[in-house]
Amino acid sequence: MPLWQIYHPVGTYKDPASKASFAKDITKIYTDVGLPAFYVVVNFVPLQKEDLLVGGEFLEENPFIRIVITNIAIKMPEIDEVYARFTSSVDKVLQPHIAERGYDWEYHVAETDRRLWKINGLIPPPWKSEQEQLWVEQNRAVPYDHDMKLYDQVQ
């Protein structure tokens, strides 16, 4: 599941419409490669001025946005061009929501092992599988038969 945690000063993203627009643009990055929309979770985390320091200093002028992106559903191959393509798509999404507003920002992307991920107690189906396509169509986790050999050995 892609999880985006957007840390921002209080008041930066205060209306639901701006949050929804930002989250829809983020979601499109993932639905464009075939993932279900419901995989994408976006958390807006407002911070008081006294709770956000950069370089050990409080920021007086420009809002600073810090984004932590955790990808789980797909592990990118360790190929520079793939990383560049993904970060370029992130940069494009950030343009209208951060850059064009004149904010400063930073982000990083972490990838979590897919084997440590479940939704509603279900192991998500393999990427681009028939079962995952059902999840895309229904936009929710749907029980399915899957190979439980590894999980049966643990219990």
> Strand, helix or coil at 29?
helix
Question: Which secondary-structure segment (H or E) carries 41?
Answer: strand 41-47
Query: Which fold does the domain 3-154 belong to in CATH?
Result: Macrophage Migration Inhibitory Factor (3.30.429)
pTM over 0.85: yes
Which residues 6+ apart lie within 8 Å of 81 measured at CB? Answer: none
* pLDDT tens, per residue, the chain with 155 residues: 899 999 999 999 989 999 999 999 999 999 999 999 999 999 999 999 899 999 999 988 889 999 999 999 999 999 999 999 999 999 999 999 999 999 999 999 999 999 999 999 999 999 999 999 999 999 999 998 875 554 444 44
Q: How far apart are CA 42 and CA 6, in angstroms?
A: 7
Q: How many CB atoms lie within 10 A of CB 110?
A: 10
Six token digits for residue 59: 């920021």
Q: How far apart are CA 137 and CA 81, in angstroms?
A: 30
